[in-house]
Chains A and B, each alone.
Chain A
């Protein structure tokens, strides 16, 4: 295979015949009657096959299924990004693997079952059979000499490497960064937005390293909506202001929490914010009401989070009770704030004399696990697993859980029965 120069005076190519096979089988002292009828002669690839164009890609069950269903896959990656492979639903890290064994790729090769006219014997039953019966069978076969058929098979390529894939979390960071550059904060501020930095759904999907399904989920997480053909996120304060106005309609119209009306909400904000922004926000923040058809209900967690984000500006810290009561007061009646809603936005710091709540936004932390760990332990000395989870889970894979990651990158200690993680160094 290594010698690629073409010999112009190549001798007539040797083609194997059934007689050759029979001869070598005899030399090898194999009993031809014990072989299935068909032998396959293997040949090196032809010169016109460019093996460089052929790659082996290792698949998991999901990818195999997608291929069998005729679904396309995509390689994605910008110039400075590590390549990923996406199905419609999942994202995989792709890595070259080298092996010392040779993998001969042979199209149309017959496996044992299809080379035999009679079903293959299984070793176990043959052992179990009485020797008498077997010898009877064998002698029956002895009598008729089965002609040997010979198929010529060309190897397509000999490989020492393949690409292996590992499912990973979708890489949303770029999506967030690109969207943050053109935050929408009202039509009057649109003139300051760099038009070149506005991206459509398709443009972002093409560049963000995740599958289509994950991309849609990512847009939901970032609360992105489509405005004039481009995907946008809203400035927090602006978003809070609009959502607050929308929530105000609940008490204004004496709606129950699960009888919020879409059309009415959009109509009420006419002139205050563009219709597509209000409609987009409404669809992000509400779910259809279970009790009343055609009506909606705000998602408590999303509402609580935008409110909390507005109170908990970066750099600020609050006394625990003070924060919770301010937060609760800012929510519409009937909604309750919970500390879990702060996931990825802020942390509860119990180390000082006064337990306090402060801002720690996941999206502002470093993107590599080493640096992120360092940053986390700098803001707070010891963490419980639950506290760290929202900040670490973006590094997990189906085989690599948060606790495995922490076992590797942090030190674990137990104080008063509570397990904490602290910096390794």
Chain B
């Protein structure tokens, strides 16, 4: 009895943690299909400069250890608006703020592989 209650609590806590980490801006996560598109875009098209493994190229590495210290909001702003004076363009024609936030959260935890 006690044990099953504990399990329930643990599962609930786990789910809550997942929900929080998946949506830092409390926005709904993109649909699974859209997530696939975003993963493809990051790996392949952002990958032209940042490398398909995101280890860097003409653009810097986008691996968790490098991004850890950088605030989510500034990373989202960089994705959406680019960085003047560098080769980084703004991608706001192709995604909204919630989707950029989803990408930042995934980058910080280790970006998903191509399906």
A in complex with B: no
Tell me the B residues contacting A by CB distance below 8 Å: none
